[in-house]
Amino acid sequence: MPSSIASSATSAPTEPATARSLLRAWAVMGVISFGGGQSIQLYAYRHFVQRRRHFRPAQWSEMWGICQLVPGMNLIALCVLVGARLAGAGGAVASLAGLLTPSIAITIAVTYLYARLAAIPAVGGAMRGVVAASVGMAMVNAIRIAGPPLAATRRLGRLAGAAGLVVPAVAGLLVFVTSLPIYALLVGGGIFVAAITWMASSQGAEG
Amino acid sequence: MIAAFFWLCLKASLLSSGGLGNLPSLHQDLTGLHWANSGDFAHAVAIGQFAPGPTGLWTIALGYLVAGLAGALAAALAVSLPPQLVLVFDRAYHYGGAHPAVAGFVRGITLVVAVVVPVVLLKVLANTGFDLRSGLLAAGALVGAGSRRVPPAVLLAAAAVAGFVLYR
């Protein structure tokens, strides 16, 4: 779907995107971006909004908002969406291949080396340091993702805002003191907030 | 085993949000089956942090540690499929927006993930020889990453040096 949305995104894109240019752009971003999704997001924004002007900032925000609704890795969703809007199905496939192929190859190579180096006593200490720091950094990433849904539930009113706080608190407590299946917590939390959101939206529409 | 591993990764990815959202489910499933231990998870998360590309690729490192190259490729396929639902969501959005309940469901999952992931990570750290030194390193990285002022690569390099010195 080389969509009209994309073509009307800006009055002057520097040049039309093709599957090949998307493949190249995402491959470069996948290889040079250290620090996970945030740095890729930044590179992608600079490339597609500021340099190539394929999208306006508001469109980019809207696309990122849609990606928040999709299960799994939001960044892969963004990559597929950008590719589809700019160059149809071929663009989506090229973007996905560009982002993932080099990153996956490097990740496998790093894992291979890591598994072997970790067994060497001299580097074992350094590895323990990296693992501990990674856990700390991963916690920050996990906590950060709570911001947008908390803000969204607050906007829906007092009841939804309270539900947004109660659900993670109860889930945290349950996972700490029980051995309930994680899926039960995920689905239970999802259904509860879905019901509250639906109710709050209906009331808002009626009001 | 590869097919079952693929299914577990796909299921975890379908009911998750963000790069680490599938960690709690996979930890519960794979340690329950004794296919992976907390050490494998700790190493995979570390690789996901310092390898280039999305953080979510930690699942591929886990796949490699659990079942070699086939495991890595199975994990890669499993984590790439669910986000492609974005094309369906995008179409729905332009035909009147996503249903509020769908948005609410994903928000609920994200909120649970945001709390459960740190709890599971603490368990992982506790099961991999947690001591005062690793606690201090994790806390330092948490503060450094939380401040957004220190690049992740710098944090990891500093942690490697500190680990080398502290665990000599």
Q: What is the DSSP string of A52-90?
A: S--S-HHHHHHHHHHHTTSSB-HHHHHHHHHHHHHHHHH
Closest residue of chain A to B122, computed from CA coordinates: A135
Question: Could you tell me the pLDDT band of residue B97, with boundaries at 50, 70 and 90?
Answer: low
Cα distance between residue A164 and residue A196, in whole Å: 9
Which residues make beta-bridge pairs with A72?
B17
Contacts of B144 in chain A (CB under 8 A): 136-137
Q: Looking at residue B20, what is its pLDDT?
A: 83
Q: Given a cut of 60, is residue A95 above it in pLDDT? A: yes
Cα distance between residue A126 and residue B160, in whole Å: 4
Q: Given a cut of 60, is residue B102 above it in pLDDT? A: yes
Query: CB-CB: which of B56, B141, B166 is closest to A136?
Result: B141
Q: Given a cut of 60, is residue A41 above it in pLDDT? A: yes
Q: Is A204 on the interface with B (CB under 8 A)?
A: no
Q: Given a cut of 70, is residue A91 above it in pLDDT? A: yes
Q: Given a cut of 60, is residue A6 above it in pLDDT? A: no
Question: Could you tell me the pLDDT band of residue A13, with boundaries at 50, 70 and 90?
Answer: low
- Percent of chain A past pLDDT 90, that is, above it, reads 28
Q: Looking at residue A3, what is its pLDDT?
A: 45
Q: Is A90 on the interface with B (CB under 8 A)?
A: no
Lowest average pLDDT, out of A1-5, B43-47, B48-52, goes to A1-5
Question: Could you tell me the pLDDT band of residue A205, with boundaries at 50, 70 and 90?
Answer: low
Q: How far is A130 from chain B (nearest CA, A)?
A: 5
Residue B61 vs residue B49, higher pLDDT? B61
Residue owning tokens 């779907």:
A1
Q: Is A121 on the interface with B (CB under 8 A)?
A: no
Cα distance between residue B18 and residue B40, in whole Å: 20
Q: Do B90 and A142 touch (CB under 8 A)?
A: no
Query: Which of B11, B91, B110, B119 is most worth mutating to test chain A (most A CB atoms within 10 A of its CB)?
Result: B110
Q: Is B126 on the interface with A (CB under 8 A)?
A: no
Which pTM does this prediction carry?
Answer: 0.79
Question: Could you tell me the pLDDT band of residue A7, with boundaries at 50, 70 and 90?
Answer: very low
Q: Given a cut of 60, is residue A10 above it in pLDDT? A: no
Q: Looking at residue A102, what is its pLDDT?
A: 92
Q: Do B94 and A189 touch (CB under 8 A)?
A: no
Q: How far is A186 from chain B (nearest CA, A)?
A: 5
In this prediction, residues A146-169 reach a mean pLDDT of 87
Q: Do A186 and B129 touch (CB under 8 A)?
A: no
Q: How far is B62 from chain A (nearest CA, A)?
A: 9
Q: Is A106 on the interface with B (CB under 8 A)?
A: yes
| CB contact set of B163 (below 8 Å; sequence gap of 6+) | A125, A126, A127, A128, A129, A130, A132, B133, B137
Lowest average pLDDT, out of A2-11, B10-19, B66-75, goes to A2-11
Query: CB-CB: which of A32, A130, A192 is closest to B108?
Result: A192
Lowest average pLDDT, out of A31-35, A122-126, A189-193, B73-77, goes to A31-35
Q: How far is B1 from chain A (nearest CA, A)?
A: 19
In this prediction, residues B125-146 reach a mean pLDDT of 86
Q: What is the pLDDT of residues B29-40, one digit of tens each?
A: 999 999 999 889
In this prediction, residues A52-58 reach a mean pLDDT of 87
Q: How far is B36 from chain A (nearest CA, A)?
A: 14
Q: Given a cut of 90, is residue A136 above it in pLDDT? A: no
Query: CB-CB: which of A70, A112, A191 is closest to B83?
Result: A70
- Percent of chain B past pLDDT 90, that is, above it, reads 39
Q: Is A35 on the interface with B (CB under 8 A)?
A: yes
Lowest average pLDDT, out of A39-48, A118-127, B86-95, goes to A118-127
Question: Could you tell me the pLDDT band of residue A195, with boundaries at 50, 70 and 90?
Answer: very high
Question: Could you tell me the pLDDT band of residue A204, with boundaries at 50, 70 and 90?
Answer: low
In this prediction, residues B116-135 reach a mean pLDDT of 82
CA-atom Rg of chain A in angstroms: 21
Q: Given a cut of 70, is residue B110 above it in pLDDT? A: yes
- Could you write out the DSSP letters of every residue in B111-161? HHHHHHHHHHHHHHHHTTT--HHHHHHHHHHHHHHHHT-S-HHHHHHHHHH
Question: Could you tell me the pLDDT band of residue A8, with boundaries at 50, 70 and 90?
Answer: very low
